[in-house]
Amino acid sequence: MALRTIIFSDNPLLRKRSSRVPHITPDIRQLVEDMLETMRAANGVGLAAVQVGVPLRVIVVEIPEDLDDPDAGTSLALVNPELARVSKETEEGVEGCLSVPGWVGNVLRHQEVTVKGIDLKGRKVRFRAKGYLARVLQHEIDHLNGVLFIDRTDEIWPVEEGEEEMVEAEAAALRGAGGTGGLLE
């Protein structure tokens, strides 16, 4: 495993649609391992391959175990993920992004999504996600389509760089108590 460099919002690569992965190879598995290590080192909960300069449709997600959320402890890697279905119900929540350090904002997302893709063994997967996990998945899939959270909001505000995780955790705690949710990816 190796830490990879996270690229920032001024990099034009983040605005391009990522390419589909034709086959699961050892290189793809290595990319996923590197992405997980990079995401963890940056205290994120999700990362798209394009954020480490690899424009392929690969994402990783890891919901912290200590978060008061039904999906706490969830860890997954998806290749060629797509939103197969979205709920009509939406919810605004605080999001941040490892590629947009020092900023967070309120973003409207679907409360529930059905996602399909391929796992690292090459098997097709399809599952439903609600709440925070649904928000994280939508955020990551947006990255694969060249969309950043700042494109989905008119309301952003600065936070101390490295404090995004604390802001997100506070927002997620409020969400668990009936407030709005948040995410740092």
Instruction: Give per-residue pLDDT as tens, 1-11.
Output: 799 999 999 99
Asked if 111 and 134 count as a contact pair (C-beta separation under 8 A), the reply is: yes
What is the rounded average pLDDT of the residues 134-149? Answer: 98
pLDDT, residue 177, reads 53
Which of 52-66, 121-135, 147-161, 165-179 is predicted least confidently? 165-179
Residue 160: pLDDT band with limits 50, 70, 90: confident
What is the rounded average pLDDT of the residues 39-60? Answer: 97
pLDDT, residue 168, reads 67
Residue 93 in any domain: the answer is: yes
Neighbours of 10 (CB within 10 A): 8
Averaged pLDDT of the chain: 92
Residue 1 in any domain: the answer is: no
Distance CA 127, CA 117 (A): 9
Which of 33, 32, 148, 132 is CA-nearest to residue 98? 148
Residue 7 in any domain: the answer is: no
Residue 2 in any domain: the answer is: no
pLDDT, residue 181, reads 47
Residue 141 in any domain: the answer is: yes
CATH at 59: 3.90.45.10
Number of domains making up the chain: 1
Give the N- to C-terminal CA distance of the chain in Å, as an integer.
20
pLDDT, residue 67, reads 86
140 as an active site residue: the answer is: yes
Asked if 74 and 62 count as a contact pair (C-beta separation under 8 A), the reply is: yes
Residue 4 in any domain: the answer is: no
Asked if 112 and 89 count as a contact pair (C-beta separation under 8 A), the reply is: yes
Please pick, among 140, 164, 168, 185, the residue that the annotation labels catalytic. 140
pTM for the structure as a whole:
0.91
Residue 6 in any domain: the answer is: no
Neighbours of 57 (CB within 10 A): 23
Range of the domain at 106: 12-184
Residue 83 in any domain: the answer is: yes
